[in-house]
Amino acid sequence: MVTDTSPLVVDSEIIAGSLDDPEQFAALFDRYAAMLYRYISFRLGPELAEDLVGETFLIAFRRREAYDISYRDARPWLLGIATKLITGHRRTEVSRYRALERQSPAQPVEGPEETITRELTAQGSRPVLLNALALLSRGDRDVLLLVAWSDMTYEEAARALGIPVGTVKSRLNRARRKVRHTLGGVNPLEEHGHG
């Protein structure tokens, strides 16, 4: 059975349809694999990104029956799964930030974060930002990167991480405060978040 996978078909309909026709789930892969790859690659590097994107979709596929179809957008759900997988690689992530901090500015991974990274590189703040990210707690870093890099609302980040919206706000405020302090009072991520 061939299904319409245009953007007009919402994610929750694709997931519901995949319960009877598992092949429909591939439309979510087509829609979100590149975004997940960019997010994971930024955090852990391209070496692990492809495997973790595949693992994210495998977990999502296995859990699709439990998906709450009242949420039309599956992006927070998928990013939540990916973020939990990234947690298992925390040392790799911190080591990556430390290694990138020591390198000269490299080409950023294509995606929404490219603009932020380019601005920081132009300002010479990239190493300092990478250091600030490495110093954040896992929870604060997860919230900051979901909101700033993945352009999620507080509610979407809360759903992705399975935490209350108030916790997202407090972690984000703490993370922004620490990043601002590390950057000498400037926080280039401030205006990229949503409320």
Distance in angstroms (rounded) separating the CA atoms of residues 19 and 64: 8
**Residues in the chain, total:** 195
Query: Which of the residue ranges 57-66, 67-76, 98-107, 124-133 would you say has the lowest mean pLDDT?
Result: 98-107
138: how many CB neighbours lie within 10 A of its CB? 13
For 60-84, what is the mean pLDDT?
A: 95
Question: Quick check: 60 and 77 in contact, CB under 8 A?
Answer: yes
**Greater model confidence, 155 or 47:** 155
Residue type, 9: V
**Rounded to two decimals, what is the model's pTM?**
0.71
Query: Tens digits of per-residue pLDDT, 8-24?
Result: 899 999 999 999 999 99
pLDDT band of residue 55 (cuts 50, 70, 90) is very high
User: To the nearest whole percent, how much of the chain has pLDDT over 90?
Assistant: 48
In order of 43, 85, 97, 169, the CA distances from 113 in angstroms are: 11, 20, 15, 21
Tell me the H-state helices in 45-164: 46-62, 75-87, 90-102, 113-123, 126-135, 138-148, 154-161
Query: Tens digits of per-residue pLDDT, 111-152?
Result: 444 444 454 455 455 677 777 888 889 899 999 889 887 778
CA atoms within 13 A on the CB side of 164: 3
